Amino acid sequence: MSKINLTLKVWRQKNGREKGGFETYTAKDIDTDMSFLEMLDVVNEQLTHEGKEPIAFDHDCREGVCGMCGAVINGQAHGPLKGTTLCQLHMRNFRNGETLVIEPWRSRGFPILKDLVVDRSAFDRIIAAGGYISVKTGQAPDAHAVPVRKEDSDTAFDAAACIGCGACVAACPNASAMLFTAAKVSHLSHLPQGQVEAPERVIKMVEQMDKERFGNCSNEYECEAACPKEISVEHIARMNSEYRQAKWKAKH
């Protein structure tokens, strides 16, 4: 078991109305087997003992499933490890004596609530704008009752892996939510259950995304690089195609 010492420069902000700034803390004797969130727990315990306000950060399952955690570390969403959420990032990926600059997601669509905590309810509103799917309720059908091509099921599964963490927005120079929205559109549009409302869904979700003040996609590919589930930007291309077709059909 090895331990390291770190200097943390953490963004502190009381609420969305007040100005924030970086404060510097020392994290001593950090076990390299700890996760990044466990390291923050240790720092917060130290701050509490000193009578100081602990660092606020989002977390829940700590298993890389819920999408709650998220912060930018030295300019990288979720930190330096590819395909990893913040809660799965271990301290062995950092060097002894290293300085870590930790800040929240930066986007007009994600207003800061406190410290590293941002309001991601815009994602919920984008999903809600997509509405529902037309399926029969009651007893679940047999798995083989609705044929789905393997290629389509694989594509839908890849898109459905999105956990809505917001790393794509934080990594994008334009703070675009295109990868998130495309994933939510794509995983339904590739399945028979999602076909009926597909044209209406893509229009409503894209329009809601724009209302939430997210930026436009300029093909930087930073979203794919930062995504902890490594969702492909190909879903954005598919969504753009579906959107154009849906708008054309709506006019004719």
pLDDT tens string 176-193: 999 999 999 999 999 888
pLDDT tens string 219-243: 999 999 999 999 999 999 999 999 9
For residues 44 and 57, the answer to whether their CB atoms sit within 8 Å is no
Rounded to whole angstroms, how far apart are CA atoms 18 and 220?
32
For residues 4 and 94, the answer to whether their CB atoms sit within 8 Å is yes
- State the CB neighbour count (10 A cutoff) for residue 97: 9
Task: Tell me the residue type at 116.
Answer: L
Strands 21-31 and 3-12: antiparallel
Taking each helix axis as running N to C, give the angle between helix 178-189 and helix 121-129, from 0 to 180 degrees, rounded to the nearest 10. 30
State the pTM of this model.
0.93
Mean residue pLDDT of the chain comes to 94
Supply the pLDDT for residue 195.
86
The yes-or-no verdict on residue 138 having pLDDT over 90 is no
Six-digit token pair at 77? 């969403």
Supply the pLDDT for residue 134.
77
pLDDT tens string 30-82: 999 999 999 999 999 999 999 999 999 999 999 999 999 999 999 999 999 99
Residue 39: which residues within 8 A CB-CB, separation 6 or more?
A: 6, 27, 30, 91
Domains and CATH numbers, the chain: 3-103 (3.10.20.30), 121-251 (1.10.1060.10)
Rounded to whole angstroms, how far apart are CA atoms 43 and 144?
52
pLDDT tens string 107-133: 999 999 999 999 999 999 999 999 888
67 to each of 48, 123, 165, 166, 168, how far by Cα in Å?
27, 12, 4, 8, 12
